[in-house]
Every structure is written in structure tokens, then in C-alpha cells.
Chain A
Amino acid sequence: MSKNIFSINSKLAFSFLFSTLSLLSFASPIEPSSTTLIFGLFAGLLALVVFIVGLLSDSIIKLLSKKVEGAETTSLFNSFKNYFLGSGQSKKKKSVNGKSISLKEGFDIKLSGNARNDFKKYESNLYAVKPTDFVGLKPIPKMLVKEGATVKAGDALFYDTGFEGVKFVSPVSGKVKEIRRGAKRAITEIIIEADAKNEYKKFNTNVSSREDILNLLAESGTLALFIERPYGIVPSLNHTPKSIHVSCFDTAPLAPNYNEILNRLNKNDFQKGVEVLSKLTDNVHLNITNNTDSSLLDNINGATVNIVNGLHPAGNVGIQIHHISPINKGDIVWTIQPEDVAVIGKLFNEGIYSPKRIVALAGNVLKERNYVETTQGVNIAGLIKDNLKNENSRVISGDPLSGTAVGKDGFLGFYDNQISVIEEGDEYELFGWLIPSYARPSLSPTFPKSKTYDVNTNTHGEKRAFVVTGEYKEVLPMNIYPQFLFKSIIKEDFEEIEGLGIYELIEEDVALCEFVCTSKQPLQQILRTGLDFIRSQS
């Protein structure tokens, strides 16, 4: 984190200076007889003085900030400008072969409790594949194994009739311990007890045609590692994506530092994975930021490297797609994470499905926060037990904006590489809306600011109708009018939902909108209703 040499908030200081000076200008005694000419001249002179003072202090600040090592170049006018135009980042550009995009809108939620740069290995004897992690599956998919069956890593566990051919496989070898069911007998978790043998199912990787590659991906369970947009569902075998996007950074709160993850991936596997992707579509995009610093991405063949800079949600692949090659009606785009590209590479290099994950264990409630090298679907009880400062906490697989609450003995989600633990906020707060008793992250300048925040899960208010306008747009760097989209979803206006760009969004893209929402509306849920509605109609 870069240091700021100014302890006081320069924005506040400037606005205070500005308003005091303008107040003084009016407070000066003006006789009823004095003409407006004098008044106007005085005001003009004052404006000039304010401008010169501002300019001078600005250049002094710039000079000072250059002297402090690692400090951000701070400018009064920059922050003043940000007030009106959003807080864009201007940094020197890297040279890439793709687009270079700088986003103005967004909001970084700076939470305390990032994972320390310390890597540990962790395996449990329990692993789970959760059908609920996949969007679009029927509640009761077709099971291929029964309780007690022995499976190898890569053996198919179930499939869905809606996505014929796409198999969902076991991440480890062992025995199917339990098939857990939830409401209406929907299958929620398939739990596998790992053995020590670590056996892998061998796949025949001697394939070259696009169709054969796709079939191998579907058979080996790696096709499920992709997410298909629109709708954010499991990809279909007979769909041809316009492009495949890989976001190589994450801006979410408490997100892992992707430089560390990328540096620990096998370069051969990653390169092979990118080659496989490039056989599925002509356009493979690797999206990085200025801060991305990894030899893994040097000299990659078969992909366009784009650079995207900005505050959260710039790291969300949906935002990147919007600016690189937007999804129009009828377009299909697949997305995948860098680790999973390496998983596909390993499949083609060695013929095995070995879904390794590097997970950031973060949150200020945790005593030990570090990175954990583990396997997809691992039971996280061992990481959480005896590691909490406060037992009344929520364990989230994923980031606090779009993750899933899994409980203290839950399992890592299929796509997740982050476990966030935050305090539950189920407490009343006396006059919390008027005079908050502790600092909390907010888009609103009416709250005192802090460098990092301790958060809890309190909603900080009750649900209301949409009242405030423009706040979603301020944090969604897309040419989309989110509030009107949500309203059209609520009134089920098909044409308008489609026209306002629902195809470009999935839940994680509007998570930040839901965070900032003054009316505490459940926007992710509303968006999913809209996506289901559109999908059922088309």
C-alpha cells in the first residue's frame, strides 16, 4: 500500500478553505449604498486570490510528495476534480498488444485483515462438490455415483440433462462419503473422503480437432471451470464463444494478490492452457493491470493481453469484457480464472485433473491470515477452528461482496480462491445512523474516513424504495443504467431489460452497487430474477 504523506484529508481541507474564504467574502461589511460593481470586483479579486493560493499550495504539495519514498503524488486539484468526475487513476502505461483501458468509476473498499504474504500447505480429508455452485443446473442433477463408491480424481460424479455431456468430477481420489440434500431433496453437497493414494484418472489427451478438445474438456470436468455469459451459467458443449476472457487480477475487498498466485503457477501448464483456449475461439484475452508483475505472462502465445486500470470492480471480468468486446444479444463469451487455465494445461500436458488452488485466508477476525495451497472443494474447518478472535463471525467462501456464506465447517466453493471471515453485526447501534460509533466504509463523504476498516454484516439501515439516484452508476464502470435496469426487471419489461444491457451483467458485477445502495435493495437477487426471466423467455 502506498503511503500518503498527508494525515488530513486533502479534499476536506480544500473544501473547508474554499467555503471559509467565500463566507469571509460575503461577511465583509457592505453598505447598502455600495454598488454591485465594487461587490463584483471584490468577489472576482477574492476568487483570484483563492485560485493563486490553491495553485501555490498544490505545487508545494506535489514537490513534497515527490521527496517521500513510496508516497503517492498528491494534488489538491486532483482530489477536487475527483469529487466531480470520479476517482480515476492515472499511472504510466505498460505496453501490451491489446487495449489499454482506464476506468473512472468504482470504489475500493479497504478492509483490514488482508492475507499475509506467507504460504502454507493445507489438505483436509474431506472434499465437496456442490451443485449449488453452478448456475443453471437443475436442483437434482443425475448422479453417476452412489454413497460408498470409490472414485479417482477426475471421475465423474454427476451431470445435468440441461448441459448434456458436461461432467462434474471429483477433485481427489477417495470414497463418496455422503450425498447431502437440502430443501425439496435438492442435492447440495457431494462429500468425498480422500484417501492417501492420490490416484488420478488418466485421460487420453491425444486430440487435435476443436470438437475433440471440447469433448475432452467436458469429459474431464474442466469445462465446468468456464463460466458462460450471458447468464453466468455452465458452458454448453455446442456453444462457440466469441471470446474467452481471463482476468489476471482481483480488486475485490480482501482479495488475494494475484501476482503471488501467478508466480506460483506452472508456466508450461499455463502456456499449454492458453493454447487450448485459443483453439476454442479466436479471441483469448488476458487482462492485467499496471500492478501485474509476473514472468508468467511474458511471451505468452495465443492470447491478447489487455491492460485495465481502475478501482474495484475493474478486476471483475464482466467489466473488462464490456470495454474490450462487449456482449451483444446472441453473443456468447466464456470466462475462466488463471489458476484454471493452468489446470487445463496440466490436463493436456499430463492427462490428469488436478484442480489446485491458492486460497487467501483473510479477515480481521482471524488470528492467522495467510495464503493456503490446497485443492478445490476442500473442507475449511481446519483453517477456521481455533483461529477466530470472535466466534460470532461469518465464514465466506469468496469475497465479502459476492461470496457464499459456508459456515465454520463448510467447503471451499468451486470457483473460489478466497476465504473471508467477518464479524456478524447482529447488534443494535444507538444512533448509528446519525453519529456512527465506529468507522465504516462508505461511498458517502459524510462518514469519517479511515485507511482500513473493520466491518461486520450489519445492513446499517432498513430496506427502502429506490430513492437516491446516480449512486450505482458511480461505482459501475459500464455504459449501463443500473437503476433503470433493476426497475425494468421488477416490472418485467422484456424489451427494456434486454435493451438496457442485462446480457453484459452477472451478479458479481452489481455486487458493489448492492454494497453502496442507500435503500438496501437486494440487487444481486433482482438481477438473477431478471436473468432467469430473460433465459426462460428466449
Chain B
Amino acid sequence: MKFIRNFMDKIEPDKAKSPFLHTLWDGMDTFFYVPNHVTKGRTHIKDGMDLKRTMIHVVLAMQFAFLIGMYNIGHQHYFSLGMYPGFFSGFFQKLIFGVLQYLPTIIVVHIVGLGIEFLFAAKKGHGIEEGFLVSGFLIPLIMPPATPLWIVALATAFAVVIAKEAFGGTGMNVFNVALVARVFVFFAFPSEISGDEVWVTQDYTWLHKGFNAFASLFGASDFFSIHNGATLVDGWSGATPLSLAAKGGWESVQAYAVTIGGKVYHPYSTSNLLWGNVPGSVGEVSKIGIILGAIFLIFSKIGSWRIMLSLVLGAVFMSALLNIVNSMYANELTNAFLSVPWYYQFTMGGLLFAMAFMATDPVTAAGTSTGKWIYGFLIGVVGIIIRVLNPAYPEGWMLAILLLNVFAPLIDYMVLQNNIKRRLQRA
């Protein structure tokens, strides 16, 4: 493998003359090779763990949810048009449809985000930091699959510049970068991401058409069976489980039915909700995939189990409390969401995704152990309050986490003051 090293050494650009190119080269070089830096000072040996490895493990943990979610784009497309209603029927069409629909989003996010990162790194004269390795994956995961690419690009640029670089780069940001990208779309382009209607792509992009043409060269003349303008299937309403629950409680989520070819399907059955056979952002749909990712994060000690557990406890506490309130004042209250049993809250929306990947971001979460318990619990409580009680926002996790991002330093401050007080009392 010596030739890669020799090649990298040969093409190293001059740092003073072209800082941007050098940063680009440095990013590549440190991607391939752990640098030959040795320890200075009095700690002569160092742990093998570095930020690149930490970040890549978060990306790995997302893969379970990511793969199911990406395939699911294709499945939902065909399902809404009444074709291949079984989850695994038409496997290759669905897979390739999903990949072709989703790939441009990932590429655009990375080009825009990494481009800005490289620019800032070159300007500041230091290496690329790994923060975008995770953000670059999280942003596509929480964007609706049908969001126009220029909006995705704008949101990514906004998030990286305003939420991260303005604060000093990786490790300095106050807000979760990926959530800022989403909140930007949420408020700037509300029609794209309102959340009470499902995100299913019914149209074919030029990529699909191109692939179709390409496939026809090899005899598969109608790979995608392009159905632009095709009629939607009977009973397909486009309501999300959350908006159904808000209107009619858990019963109406379960009752939602679609008839395809004389057969009745319940798209929002519990097992569909758990496995990820429902429309939605790529990351959030598969609860099983997210749970596997969360287990991976906990056992690799990269995600904080304290935050995950306390967030779940907070959500359980708040939704169970609302259930009790609902049963006490059943006649006066009209909000059907209050009646949704607390355990079903986990099967809908982005609760688990927020728990596993968003709340555990170590930079924006509380840093002390006690603080992590408080931070996670409050996210759980606030998230459920927004989801259930606020009619304006059908989902609460994004806003809950951003709100608690602001309070995280305050929570830590409280814990630290307690520690300082204890030390003063000891004297």
C-alpha cells in the first residue's frame, strides 16, 4: 500500500499558495491515513479512539434505519399507485426507485455542506473537522423524500453557516446542525414539510427516466412502468398517523384502510409502524432499525444511554399523565390525541429517531451525567406536549430538542454550581 502514500506525498499542494486545495488534500490524506503525529508533553500514549472513528460509528448506527427507509420510498411510491402492494413484491423496482430518488439529496447535502466546511477550514488554516460526517447523513434522513433539491441545498448551507461555523465550527455549536436545517425548511417552506400530510413521491425525476431509458437498452423496456399522472389508489388519503390520531385517536390510526385489487390493507397497523412500512422521512420510519441503531450506539458507548433512557422516561411520563387526565375528564375534553395510549406514542413519528440520533448529539446536549438525565427527560416531556397538545405542530421533537439545546448550558450550570457549593460547604 506504499504507492498510495507516495502518491499522496507527491501531489501535496503548497499550503501558502493554495490553502483551499491544501485543505482538500489534507482532508483526503487524513481520510486514508492516520497522520504520523506523535505525542508531546507528558502523556506519551493515546487512546486509539479519535473523532473520525466516533463519527463513523454514528453513521454506521444509522444504516439499519437508512436502508429500510430508502427502500420504503420506492415501496410507498408503488403502494400509493396501487402497484406491488406487498412490502417485498417488486423488490428491485422499489429499491432502484428509492435509491434514485434519494441519492441526489445525499449528494447535494454533501457537496454544499462539505464545500462550506472546506472553505471555512481553508480560511482558518486548519484541517477538516469530522462534524459534517454525521450532519451530512442526518440532514437527508430527516428531509421529506420529495423536497426539491434547491431547498435542501439552501437549508444545508443555512445550517452549516449559521448554526455551526458562526459559532466556531465543530464542537462549538449551540444548536443541533441537522435540526436547524430542518427547522429552516419547516419555517421557510412550510408547504414542503407541514407534517399533517404524508411525504410520498408520486412523480418520476429525470434520473428515473434516464435509468428507464438505460434499462431499455438491455431489453427491460419498461423498468419503472412510468405512471406520471396515474390515479391514486382507492381510499389513499395522504394523512399521517399523527394527524389521524389527532382527529380520532389510536382507533382511527388502526382503522385507516386502503383497498387494492379487492384486498383491504391497513397501512398503519402496529407492525407496519414498527417495521417502517409507512410514509415519512427516511430516517424516522423504521422503528426497529432505529432501535437496533440505538443499541449499537449504547454498546459502543458512543451515544449516551442516560439521554436515551431519560428521554423515553420523560415521554412515557408525560403521555401517561395525559392519558390519565383524559380518562378523568373524558366528557369535557375534545382532543382525541389525549386518548392515544402512551405505549403507542413510540410507534408514530420521530420520537425514537430523536431519541437515538438527535438528542444524543454530545456537543449540543448537556455534558454532565446529572444534566443528561434532566436534559433527556425534559425533551421527552416537551416533545409529547407539543405533539399532543399543540394543534399547530403535528410533531414536537425537532422543536423540543432545539428548545432544550438552549437550556442545556443552563442545566449544566446548575449541576456545576451544585458541585461548587458542595466544595464550599466541605471547607
Q: A residues engaging B (CB < 8 A)?
A: 15, 19, 22-23, 26, 30-34, 36, 39, 83-84, 109, 111, 253, 326, 328-330, 394, 396, 398, 400-405, 420, 422, 424-434, 436, 440-447, 455-462, 464-470, 473, 479-481, 483-484, 496, 499-501, 507, 511, 514-520, 522-525
A403's partner among B42, B57, B271 (CB-CB below 8 A) is B42
Q: Are A465 and B46 in contact (CB under 8 A)?
A: no
Q: Are A433 and B129 in contact (CB under 8 A)?
A: no
Chain A residues whose C-beta falls within 8 Å of the C-beta of B274 in the assembled complex: 26
A462's partner among B35, B301, B365, B423 (CB-CB below 8 A) is B35
- Closest CB pairs A-B (n = 8): A461-B50, A465-B171, A499-B420, A432-B34, A32-B269, A328-B427, A440-B48, A469-B367
A426-B38, A430-B1, A483-B367 known; A445-B48 Cβ under 8 A: no
B387-427 interface (Cβ within 8 A of A): 412, 415-416, 419-420, 422-424, 426-427
Q: Are A433 and B45 in contact (CB under 8 A)?
A: no
Q: Are B41 and A522 in contact (CB under 8 A)?
A: yes
B32-66 interface (Cβ within 8 A of A): 32-54, 56-57
Q: Are A515 and B50 in contact (CB under 8 A)?
A: no
Q: Which of B50, B57, B172 has most A Cβ within 10 Å?
A: B50
Q: Are A515 and B45 in contact (CB under 8 A)?
A: yes
Q: Are B129 and A445 in contact (CB under 8 A)?
A: no
Closest to B131 in A: A467
Q: Are B33 and A465 in contact (CB under 8 A)?
A: no
Q: Which of A396, A467, A523 has most B Cβ within 10 Å?
A: A467
CB distance from B323 to the nearest CB of A (A): 15
A15-B299, A430-B4, A481-B416 known; A447-B38 Cβ under 8 A: no
B38's partner among A457, A461, A464, A515 (CB-CB below 8 A) is A457
Measured CA separation A34–B56 after assembly (Å)? 39
Closest to B60 in A: A446
Chain A residues whose C-beta falls within 8 Å of the C-beta of B343 in the assembled complex: 36
18 pairs across A/B with beta carbons < 8 Å?
A23-B292, A32-B266, A431-B33, A433-B50, A434-B52, A434-B56, A445-B299, A458-B38, A459-B46, A461-B34, A461-B49, A467-B171, A470-B369, A479-B422, A481-B367, A496-B416, A516-B49, A522-B41
Chain A residues whose C-beta falls within 8 Å of the C-beta of B213 in the assembled complex: none
B294-324 interface (Cβ within 8 A of A): 295, 299-302, 304-305
Instruction: Decide if B67 is an interface residue (CB 8 Å cutoff).
Output: no
Interface size for chain B: under 10, 10 to 19, 20 to 34, or 35 or more residues?
35 or more
Instruction: Decide if B202 is an interface residue (CB 8 Å cutoff).
Output: no
Q: Are B416 and A442 in contact (CB under 8 A)?
A: no
C-beta contact mask, B22-38 vs A, less than 8 Å → 1, else 0?
00000000101111111
Closest to B370 in A: A481
Closest to A431 in B: B32
A467-B51, A518-B47 known; A430-B33 Cβ under 8 A: yes
Q: Are A436 and B54 in contact (CB under 8 A)?
A: no
A444-B300, A445-B300, A470-B369 known; A519-B171 Cβ under 8 A: yes
Q: Which of B4, B372, B416 has most A Cβ within 10 Å?
A: B416
A446-B300, A518-B47, A518-B51 known; A511-B42 Cβ under 8 A: yes
Q: Are A444 and B48 in contact (CB under 8 A)?
A: yes
CB distance from B65 to the nearest CB of A (A): 14
Chain A residues whose C-beta falls within 8 Å of the C-beta of B40 in the assembled complex: 522
Measured CA separation A445–B47 after assembly (Å)? 12
CB distance from B285 to the nearest CB of A (A): 15
Q: Which of B30, B54, B295 has most A Cβ within 10 Å?
A: B54
Q: Are B48 and A442 in contact (CB under 8 A)?
A: yes
Q: Are B30 and A462 in contact (CB under 8 A)?
A: yes
Measured CA separation A466–B171 after assembly (Å)? 6
Q: Are A403 and B171 in contact (CB under 8 A)?
A: no
Instruction: Decide if B270 is an interface residue (CB 8 Å cutoff).
Output: yes
Measured CA separation A442–B51 after assembly (Å)? 13
Q: Are A428 and B33 in contact (CB under 8 A)?
A: yes
Closest to A23 in B: B292
Chain B residues whose C-beta falls within 8 Å of the C-beta of A466 in the assembled complex: 171
Q: Which of B41, B52, B288 has most A Cβ within 10 Å?
A: B41
Closest to B29 in A: A428
Closest to B127 in A: A462
Instruction: Decide if B252 is an interface residue (CB 8 Å cutoff).
Output: no
Chain B residues whose C-beta falls within 8 Å of the C-beta of A469 in the assembled complex: 304, 362, 365, 367-368
A19-B295, A519-B171 known; A464-B51 Cβ under 8 A: yes
B426's partner among A36, A84, A328, A465 (CB-CB below 8 A) is A328
Chain A residues whose C-beta falls within 8 Å of the C-beta of B365 in the assembled complex: 469
CB distance from A321 to the nearest CB of B (A): 13
Q: Are B5 and A428 in contact (CB under 8 A)?
A: yes
Q: Are A501 and B423 in contact (CB under 8 A)?
A: yes
Instruction: Decide if B194 is an interface residue (CB 8 Å cutoff).
Output: no
A455-B45, A517-B47 known; A32-B272 Cβ under 8 A: yes
